[in-house]
Structure 1
Amino acid sequence: MTSSETAPTPTPIDRPALREFTDRLDFALDPFQVESCAALEDGHGVLVCAPTGAGKTIVGEFAVHLALAAGTKCFYTTPIKALSNQKFSDLVAVHGAENIGLLTGDSSINPSAPVVVMTTEVVRNMIYANSPALNGLSHVVMDEVHFLADRFRGAVWEEVILHLEPSVKVVSLSATVSNAEEFGDWIKTVRGDTTVVVDDHRPIPLWQHMMVGNRIFDLFERTPRNGERPQVNSELTRYIKQREMVSDHESPHGRRGRGGPPRRGRPAGIISRPDLIARLDRDGLLPAIGFIFSRAGCEAALDQCVRSGLSLLQPAQSAQVEEVVNRYVGDLTEADQDVLNVDTWRAGLMRGLAAHHAGMLPAFRHAVEELFVRGLVRAVFATETLALGINMPARSVVLERLVKYNGEAHVDLTPGEFTQLTGRAGRRGIDVEGHAVVVWMPELDPTRVAGLAGARTFPLRSSFAPEYNMAINLIGRLGLAGAKNLLERSFAQFQTDRSVVGQHRKIDTARRTLGKIDVELSGRASSVGVEPGDLATGDAAAADDHTPTDDYDGFLGYMRLREVIRTRERELKFEKRMTAQANTVDELSALKRGHVIALHGGRHRGLAVVIEPATDRRDPKPMVLCEDAWCGRVGTADFLNPPEVLGNMRLPRQVDRRTGRGRRDLASSLRATGIDVPRGRQSRRSPAADDRELGLLRSRLRAHPAHQLPAGDELFRLAERRNRVEREITALTESVSTRTSTLSITFDRIVGVLTELGYLVDGPEGVVVTDSGRTLSRVYSESDLLICECIRAQVWDALTPPELAAVVSAVVYESRRDSYSGPDLVTGHREVRDALQDTHRAWRTLAHLESRHNVGVTREPDAGFATAMYTWASGRSLAEALAAAGERGRPLPAGDFVRWSRQVIDLLEQIRMSAGGEGRLARSAKSAVGCIKRGVVAVELG
C-alpha cells in the first residue's frame, strides 16, 4: 500500500529565536509550522488550521519558548483536563518542573510558574476575577480552539479571545475547518494583527479501507480518473454484491430472514472481534483503536478478545505492563481493588488489550494511555472521547458502526466526526502511512463511507450565548453598554452579520421582481376589464390581520380574500391537531401495565401491550411490546389519534424483554389474546364546516366579481406569483430582524431576570451589580442562578457536611438515562430529602420567572446521585456508594462516580469562596470537600 502524497519541502529558517528553538528538535519543521512560528516571533497573533496529527502544537510550544526567553508569561489552555495533564508532562520534560505549572479544577501545581497549563475555563475565571496572575502575560495558546462550536462549553473560548488584553498574543490551534478564513477574519477584527495559516496537508498519508468478512479492500480506486475525485473501488462493490446474492439465495426470505426469528448478535459472515484484531496483527496494522460508541460495547469487545485467548504481547512485555499497572493501582486498598475488578482489567492489559471510556476510573484510563504510547497496548476499544485531543495515535483505526447515540437519538456520524476519529491513524515519526478500516455490515453502502471519507466541508459555527454568570461578569467589568458592545463583537454576531448581508441582497432582488410583476398584473387586469386593486397594500403577509368586514375591492383584494381563507383553514387544522396531541398525551399518561393498544403508524403496526407505564406526564413514553416482538418506548409522534385501550393482558411479574426469546414468547401470548385491531376510525366532521368566520369569508369570495373569471386566467398565475414573492420578502425581513438582534434580546431578558431578583439594580450611573450579583459572579455552573438563590435563601445552611454534599450533587448530576430523579428518591435521610424538596421549590419559582421572561429554563435538580454522595461523604465503602448510585439496578461505573464527585467538590469550593470563606455554610462546604476527597477520589485528585 503506497501513497501518492509527498511531504512538503522544509522552509529555510531566518529567525534567531526560531532557529534556537529548532536546534533542540530532532526533526525538521514543515512549512506551515515555520510560517506560523515566524509570525509569532515577528509579534503577530496566529490562527493555525491543520489536520489532526499535523503537528500544530509545535506552534504552541514555540510560544512557550518565546515567553520563557523574554521573561514573560504564557498560558497554555486545553479543552479537557486529560489533555492539560498530558501537556503539562510534555512541557516539564523539556523546560523543567520549576518553569511549568498546572491549574485545572482538580490540580494546582506551581501556579506562579512563568508557563501554566490550564483548562480554558480557568483562564476565563481569572479574567473575570481580575487575577494578578494575568500580570506579565504575553502569550495564550488556545489548543483545540474549534471547541468554541461545542454547544455546552463553546462560549468560554470566545469569552477569553474577547477579554484578553490587546498586548497578549493569542495562538489559536484548530483542526481543519472549511471556513477557516471567516474565523480568521473575526479574530483579526477582535484581536488585531493576526496571521492565518491554513494547511490541508496530512503529514502521514491515510488509507481508507473496508473489511468485508475477513478481506480488507481499499475503499477507493488507486488512481483517480482524469483528475476527478477518487472513485469507490469497483472490486469492493462487486465482492459485496456477490456476498449479498449468496446471502439472499441461502435465506428463503432474503437477507433479513423475514420468515424466521430475528438474528441475534453479529450478522452471519461478519468477522468476530478477536479474528479482526488477529487479522490486523498479521497485516502489520497494529496498534489499532477500535471506536465503539458505547461503554458497554467497549467492555464487551475487550471481554470477547480476552476470552478468545488472543494475546498480542511477549512475556517480557507483559512484565513491563504489570510494573505500570502496579504503579497506578498501588494506592488503592484491596477492598477497592476487588470492587473495581482490577484483576480482570489487568488480565486484558497483560495480553496487550484494553478498553478506554469515561466510565473507567481515571487512573485506569491514564494507565491505558501510557501503555498505548509505549507500545504495550496493541489494541484498544474506545468511545469517541479518546479522539478529543489525547495523544494516543495508532497505526490503524477501526469503525464498526457509522451511527452513534447522541444522548437523545441514534444519529449518523458527520463528516467532521469521521475525520476526527480516523485522524488518529498514523503516528508521525513512526508510521509511513495510517489506515482507517470500516467493517462492512449488511446494507452498508460503500458510497456512504466514501462520502464521509471524501467530505471536506466542516464549517465552524459559534455557540456563543449570554448566560447569568456571563451577564453579571460582563456588566461588572464593562457596564451595560460595554457588555452589549462585547456581544456585538462575538463570533456568533460576526457570522450573523455576514449572513444578513446575503439576506438583504435577496430582499432587494425580490423587491425588484415584485415591481416587474405589478407592471404585468396591471396590464393584464386592464385588458380583461378588472380593477387591479391597491398594489401597494396587497401584502399577503398582512392577510392574517384581515376580517370578514375588510375591504377586498379589486382583483388583488379578491386574492387577499383567498389567502385569508387558506390561513383560516390552516389555523383550524392546527387547532384540531393540537387538541388531538393533547388528548394523546392524556391517554398515553393513563395507560397501565397490561393494557393492549393498537399501533397504526411508523415501522410497527398491530397490537402492542404496555409493559412499563410512562413516568413523565409532560412527554409520556410508555414501553410496549408489539406482535412482531419489537420492544421500545412510544410517544405522541407514533400516534395520529389518541391510543384506545382494546383490552387487558396478564403479564408475569418479571417481564423478560432483554432476550429475543423472552420477547418472542410475550409477542406470541399477545397474538393469542384474540383482540382485534380496529381497521380505522370513522372520519370526523371537519372543524372548518362549523366555523362561522370561515363561512362568512367563503360567502364573500363567491359574491366577489372576480370570482367569475376563468380559473386558468393569466391574472391568477401572476397574483399567486406576487403572493409568493411577498411572502418571501416578509420571511427574509423577519429573519434579518430576528438574527441581528437575537443575542441582544436574550441578553436583555437575562438582565430582566437578574434585575427582578435583585442581582442587578439601576444606579445613578446605570445598571450596577449588587452583593448577591457578586456572589453569582463567582459561581460557574449550568445551574448558577439556582445555586445562588439557594445560598441567598439559606436553604442549605443547617446541613451537615455529608448532607450538604448530597444536596449540592443534585444541581450538578444528570442521569444518563431517562428516569425519575425527584427528591423522594432519597429515603432514610429526612434532612437530605427536606433540603432537596426546598431546592426543588426554589427551582420551580425560578423556572416560573424564567418562563415569564422568555429565558431558557434552568435544568431541574436531579437527585439520582444524592444517596451515593451522602453514603460516600459519611465514610462508607466504595462498594456501598457505587451500589447507591446505580440506575435501574446497575451500579454506577467507578469512573462516573469519581467524575461526579469531582464536580461536587468543585461546586463546594465555589460555594465556600462565594460565601467569603466564612460562616456556617462556608465551613460546612470546606468540611464536605474533605469528606469526599478520600479513597479513589483522593487518588485521582492527587
Structure 2
Amino acid sequence: MTSSEAAGPWDDDTPWGPDAGAPITEGAVTEVVDRPRLREFTDRLSFSLDPFQRESCAALEDGHGVLVCAPTGAGKTIVGEFAVHLALQAGTKCFYTTPIKALSNQKYSDLVAVHGADSIGLLTGDSSINPYAPIVVMTTEVVRNMIYANSPALDGLSHVVMDEVHFLADRFRGAVWEEVILHLDPDVKLVSLSATVSNAEEFGDWIKTVRGDTTVVVDDHRPIPLWQHMMVGNRIFDLFDQRIRPGERPQVNGELTRYIKQREMVEDHQRAHSGRGARGRPQRGRPTGTISRPDLIARLDRDGLLPAIGFIFSRAGCEAALEQCVRSGLNLLEPDQAEQVAEVVARYTGEFSPSDREILRVDSWESGLRRGLAAHHAGMLPAFRHAVEELFVRGLVRAVFATETLALGINMPARSVVLERLVKFNGESHVDLTPGEFTQLTGRAGRRGIDVEGHAVVVWMPGLDPTRVAGLAGARTFPLRSSFAPEYNMAINLIGRLGLAGAKNLLERSFAQFQTDRSVVGQHRQIDKARVILRKIDTELVGRASGLGIDPGRLAPDEPVGDASAYDGFLGYMTLREDIRTRERDLKFHKRMTLQANTVDELFGLKRGHVIGLHGGRHRGLAVVIEPANDRRDPKPLVLCEDGWAGRVGVSDFLNPPEVVGNMRLPRQVDHRTGRGRRDLASSLRNTGLSVPKGRNTKRSPAADDGELADLRARLRAHPAHELSSHDELFRLAERRNRSLREITNLTSSVDTRTSTLSVTFDRIVAVLTELGYLLADVDAEGAPRMVVTESGSTLSRVYSESDLLICECIRAGVWDALTPPELAAVVSSVVYESRRDTYSGPDLVTGNPTLRETLSATHKQWRTLSALENRHGVGVTREPDAGFATAMYTWAAGRSLGEALAVAGERGRPLPAGDFVRWSRQVIDLLEQIRMSAGAEGRLARSAKSAVGCIKRGVVAVELG
C-alpha cells in the first residue's frame, strides 16, 4: 500500500511503510529466471502472475516445498494449481486437500473445467469420484486416514496442496493438519496455503524443521484495495479521515464521530419527551437509529455497491433478514435474469419429490432468488447452498445474508461486505469479533478482475464507538497457534506405525511443541534475570542486616523448609508473615465461595409467591418472587419489590443467601410489565405485614475461629525478629526477596508444565488404552520394553470420531450386535449428534421402541464406565452420547417420509432445518461405513451397518450424496 492510499482505501492486511506490498521470501531466488513448466502454465492463463505467485511457483519448479501466506482473495490457489500442473506433466500424483467438503467440491469442479474429468478425482467421505485419478481433491481427514492405513493410493505421490492450512489452529480439527505434515513421506513436496498470519516466519521455520527444504513467501498486499465505512441511519461515512498526511497513522473520521454524537443527543431528547422517560421500554426489533435491511440493500444498490454479503451470526437472523427484504417488495433482478434463476433452481431441485418440495418450501426459497436475494448458512439444504453459490458467482444473487461459514474459503467474493454486529455466539457465550475474524469476513469484499476496490460497511447502532471498529480494521496481529493434542485414535496409529518411542518423538516434532519450546526459551531468560535480581537483593539484605547486628548466616537463601527450623532467623520470620497473609486470604476466599454456593442454592430453591428481603444492590426492602429461576448454574428469579421495580436478581444482588420471610398469594397472571400492574402488586406486598429481616452479621472475620491461623500469629509475636519491625528498609528488602522467589517458582512451574503437557497427556492416554486392552505392554526380541497394538486396538485405529473409544467399547461389548439396520442407525447417531442448545438428551427421550431405548441406555452405561476411567487417569472425558437425533434417524431409516422425520427432529419445539438433517445423516453414514470396515465384513454388525447405510441413503440424502 502506498502512502497516498493511507488516506483512503484501508488495506486491512498491509503493514505501514514505503516497502509494504513487496513479498517477503526465504530460500527463493528473487530474480525469477525462465522455467519451462512455469512458462507452460502461464501461457494458458488469461492474466499475468503477481510477484508472490511467481516466486512461489518458481520455488516449486526448483523442487522446494512452499508456504504461501497472503490475504483472502490474493490468489494463493494459483500456486496449488501449478502443483497440479507439475504432477500431471511429470506423470506423478497430486492431492489437493481442503478443510471443508464444500470447498473440495468447488475445487474439484474448477480443476475438471481445466484438466477434464478423467484426470481429476474427488474423495470427501460422502463422495468418491474417480479416486485413482492422478489428481484427487479431498478433505484433509481423508489423506490423514490414507497415511495411517498405508494406502497404496500414496504410491507415486509427488505433491500435496494444503489449502487453508491455518485451519490447524481449529481446536476441534486442527490436529489433522499437523498429523499430515508430520507423516507425509519426506520426498512429497508440501504446498501450504495460508491466510495472513503475523507469525508466518515461525510457522515456516517449523515446516522447514520437519519437512526440510521449504520456501516461505509472505505477501501482505491486497490486490483490491479495501475501503472501510460505517452506515449511520441511511448515511454512509468513511471510517477513516481522508485528510491524513502521507505516512501518518489513520485517524477516525471526525465527521462520523460528530454525526453520531448529534444523533445520540437527538434520540435522548426524543426519548425524554416521548412519555416513556429515559428508562422506558425500547421498541422491539432493530434498535432506534438503525436502518431497515430492505432500505440498507436499496441504499447499497443506489450507490453501486452490490453484490453484497451481509454477515449475520445467526441462522435464524439470516432467514429473518431475507424474509424482511422479500416482504418489502425489494427486487434486484430484471425479468430475464429471474428466468435464468429459475433454470438453475430447476437443475438443483429437479430430483426432489413433490412432497419433499412442499416440506422444503422450495417455492418460497425460489421466490427470494428470483428477486436476487438469498440466505446462506449451514442449516440450509446443501442443494440450496450450492445453488446460491452458483447464482452469486453469476451475478444473479445480488444480496446474500450469510453466517461466517461463507468466509471459510468458499469462492463467493462480493463488491461489499456488511456487518450488522461485532458480536457473535461461539457456542457457549456471546463474544466480540477478533481482529482476525473481522479481517476474514471483510476480506470477501472486492472481486479480483471485476472491482477496482472493495467496501466493508459496519452498521452503527447506539453504543457502538467508531474507534472500536477502527481497532478491528487496523489490527495487524493474527498469530497462528497450534491446537495439536494426542487422542486415542492418534495414539494407536502412532504406536502402530512408529512404536512408543517413535510416537513420542513425533509429538516432540509437532508445531505445538515447537511453539512451546520457543516460549519456554523466553521464560528461561526471565528466570535467569529474576535470579540475578535475587542475588543482588541477598547481597543488599546481608549488608543491611549486618549493620543491625543480625547474623548474616541466618539470612541464607537455602534455609530448610518443612521442619522445625523453617521459621528460624529473620527470613523465617518473613516466611511466617507470608504464611499468615496466605492463610487469611484462603479463609476469606473459602467464606466467599461458601456464601456464593449457598446463595445459588437458596435462589434456585425460591418458589413463586415466596417473599424475601433485599439488603444490597439498587433495591432494598421486601420482594416477591413472580417467576422461579430455571438455570441452576446461574439462578435469576424474577421478583417485584415494594418500590414497584420488577426484574431478575442474581447472586451479585445478595451479600448473604436470601431468607424467605413469608408467602404471598399471587393471581394466575401477574401483570408486571405495566406501571399500573407493578404499583398494584407492590401495594399488596406492602400490605402483607411482613418485614425485612435484619441483615445477618457478616463482620466477624472467618479468621477468628481458625486454630492454624491463631498458632501462626502466636509464633510471629514470639519470634525474636518481631522486635525489628521498626526497621522498614530491612522488611522492604525481605519482601522484595520473597516476590522474586515467588516469580522464580511460578516461572519454573510454568516451564515444567508446558514442556511436558503433550508427553503427559500422551502417557495418560496410553495408560487408558493399556488398561482397556487396546495396547499390550511387551518386550521385543532383545528384551527391550515395547507396546503392541492388540486386535481391539486395530479396530480403534480405523475409527475416526470424537467418540472413537466409546464406539469401540460398544463394538467390543456387543452392545449393538442385535439391532436392526434402522435401530443401529439411530443408536450410532447418538455418538455423532450434538444438540445446539443446552437441552436434555438422555436415552429416555426415545419412546415407542423398547429395544432402541434399552440399547441407548446400554451405550450410556458404557460411556459412564469409560468416563470414570478417564477421570481416574486425568484424561479429558469423552462427550456424552446425545439421543436428540435418534428418533428422527430411526424414522428416516425405517422408510418414513422426510416430513415425519423432520417433525420429530427438533429441539425445544423448534423444527430441525433440512440442511442439518442431511448433514447429520451424512455423518451417521460416514461412521456406519467405518463400523462396517472395522467390525469384520462377515459379522452381523458389519452387515447391519451396510444395510443401515442403504436405508439412510435415499430421498434428499441420496440427492445430496450423488
Same fold (TM over 0.5): yes
Alignment of 1:212-611 (within 5 A): 212-225=232-245, 227-252=247-272, 258-532=278-552, 534-537=554-557, 546=562, 549-587=564-602, 590-592=605-607, 607=623, 609=625, 611=627
Deviates more, 1:83-92 or 1:587-596: 587-596
RMSD across aligned C-alpha pairs, in angstroms? 2.7
Amino acid at match of 1:573: K
Distance 1:38 1:401 in 2: 43
Tell me by how many angstroms 1:569 deviates: 1.8
CA offset at residue 590 of structure 1? 3.8
**2:678 is aligned with 1:674:** no
SS in 1 for 2:374: strand
User: Aligned match of 2:877 in 832, 847, 857?
Assistant: 857
Aligned to 2:754: 739
Instruction: Report Cα offsets for 1:198-246 as digits up to 9, x if no partner.
Output: 0000000000000111111111112433522111111111111111222
CA distance in 2, matches of 1:782, 1:637: 38
CA distance 1:626–1:880, shift in 2 (3 Å):
farther
What is the deviation of 1:673?
Answer: 5.6
What are the within-5 Å matches in structure 2 for residues 624-643 of structure 1? Answer: 624=638, 641-643=656-658
SS class of match (1:674)? helix
Unaligned runs of 5+ in 2: 12-19, 24-29, 781-785
Cα contact 1:593–1:613 (8 A) shared by 2: no
224 and 377 in structure 1: CA distance in 2 versus 1, 3 angstrom threshold: same
CA contact (8 A) 1:591 1:610 kept: no
1:858 Cα deviation (Å)? Answer: 0.7
CA deviation string 1:147-168 (max 9, x = no partner): 0000000000000000000000
* One-letter amino acid matched to 1:576: K
Alpha-carbon separation, structure 1, partners of 2:551 and 2:307: 80
| 8 A contact 2:606–2:628 mirrored in 1 | no
Partner of 2:217, secondary structure, is strand
What displacement does 1:56 show?
Answer: 0.2
Q: Who is 2:102 aligned against?
A: 82
Distance 1:587 1:136 in 2: 68
Distance 1:172 1:512, change over 3 A: same
CA drift at 1:711 = 4.3
1:2-30 CA-partner distances (Å, limit 9, x unpaired): 75989989986611100100001000000
Change (3 A) 1:195 1:612: farther
Q: Is the 8 A contact 1:588 1:614 kept in 2?
A: no
Cα pair 1:533 1:556 within 8 Å, conserved:
no
Report the secondary structure of 1:172's partner residue.
strand
Contact 1:475 1:482 in 2 (8 A): yes
1:689 aligns with 2:709: no
Which of 738, 756, 769 is the matching residue for 1:723?
A: 738
TM-superposition CA deviations, 1:785-841 (whole Å, max 9, x none): 111111111111111111111111111111111111111111222111111111111
Displacement after TM superposition at 1:721 (Å): 0.5
Asked if 2 retains the 8 angstrom alpha-carbon contact of 1:461 and 1:492, the reply is yes
**Residues in 1 aligned to 2:242 and 2:276: alpha-carbon distance in whole angstroms:** 33
* 1:862-881 matched pairs, under 5 angstroms: 862-881=882-901
CA 1:526 to 1:581, structure 2 compared with 1: closer, same or farther past 3 Å?
A: same
Aligned residue for 1:703? 718
What is the CA distance between 1:678 and its match in structure 2?
A: 6.4
**Equivalence for 1:54:** 74
Structure 1 residue 568, shift from structure 2 partner: 1.8
- Paired AA for residue 906 in structure 1: D
The answer to whether the 8 A contact 1:631-1:663 is kept is no
SS of residue paired to 2:834: coil
How much has 1:268 moved relative to structure 2? 2.3
**What is the SS of the residue equivalent to 1:46?**
strand
Q: Secondary structure at the match of 2:132?
A: coil
Partners of 1:851 and 1:679 lie apart in 2 by: 45
Segments of 5+ residues of structure 1 without an aligned counterpart are: none
CA distance in 2, matches of 1:937, 1:199: 42
Q: Tell me the SS of whatever aligns to 2:449.
A: coil
- Where does residue 795 of structure 2 map in the other structure? 775
- Match among 730, 747, 770 for residue 755 of structure 1: 770
Of residues 189, 202, 210, the one that matches 2:209 is 189
Q: Secondary structure at the match of 1:220?
A: coil
Deviation by residue 1:609-645 (Cα, 9 ceiling, x = unmatched): 4746547x6x46566477799878x876776644444
Q: Which residue of 2 aligns with 1:713?
A: 728
Query: Does the 8 Å contact 2:232/2:260 carry over to 1?
Result: yes
The CA distance in 2 between the partners of 1:255 and 1:145, in whole Å, is 57
Q: Tell me how far apart the structure 2 counterparts of residues 887 and 845 of structure 1 sit (CA, whole Å).
A: 28
Counterpart residue identity of residue 751, structure 2: V
Contact 1:587 1:642 in 2 (8 A): yes
- Map residues 745-894 of structure 1 onto 2, 5 A cutoff: 745-765=760-780, 766-894=786-914
| Equivalent residues of 1:611, 1:655 under 8 A apart | no
Query: Aligned pair in 2 of structure 1 residues 254, 46: CA closer, same or farther (>3 Å)?
Result: farther
- C-alpha displacement at 1:918, in angstroms? 2.1
For the 8 Å contact 2:232–2:290, the answer to whether it is kept is yes
CA distance in 1, matches of 2:103, 2:445: 18
For the 8 Å contact 2:268–2:278, the answer to whether it is kept is no
Return closer, same or farther for 1:562/1:355 CA change in 2, 3 Å cut-off. same
Question: Which has the larger displacement, 280-289 or 912-921?
Answer: 912-921
1:148-159, aligned counterparts within 5 Å?
A: 148-159=168-179
Q: Residue 272 of structure 2 aligns to a residue in which SS?
A: coil
Instruction: Give the residue type in structure 1 aligned to 2:720.
Output: P
Q: Report what 1:107 is aligned to.
A: 127
Matched, 1:932 2:948: no
Q: Give the Cα–Cα distance (whole angstroms) in 2 for the partners of residues 596 and 332 of structure 1.
A: 59
> 1:726-766 CA deviation, whole Å, 9 max, x = no partner?
00000000000000000000000000110011100111221
* Alpha-carbon distance in 2 for matches of 1:666, 1:333: 54
The 8 Å contact of residues 248 and 255 in structure 1, kept in 2 or not, is answered as: no
Render the CA deviation track for 1:878-897: whole Å, top value 9, x for unaligned: 11211211111111111111
CA gap of 1:282–1:470, structure 2 versus 1, over 3 A, is: same
Given that 1:629 and 1:666 are in contact with CA atoms closer than 8 Å, whether structure 2 keeps it comes out as no
What per-residue deviation string (whole Å, max 9, x for no partner) do you get for residues 168-205 of structure 1? 00000000000000000000000000000000000000
Q: Counterpart amino acid of 1:832?
A: L
Partner of residue 908 from structure 1, selected from 884, 903, 928: 928
- String of CA shifts for 1:112-156, please: whole Å, max 9, x gaps: 000000000000000000000000000000000000000000000
Distance 2:61 2:182 in 1: 22
In 2: Cα distance, 1:120 partner to 1:602 partner: 54
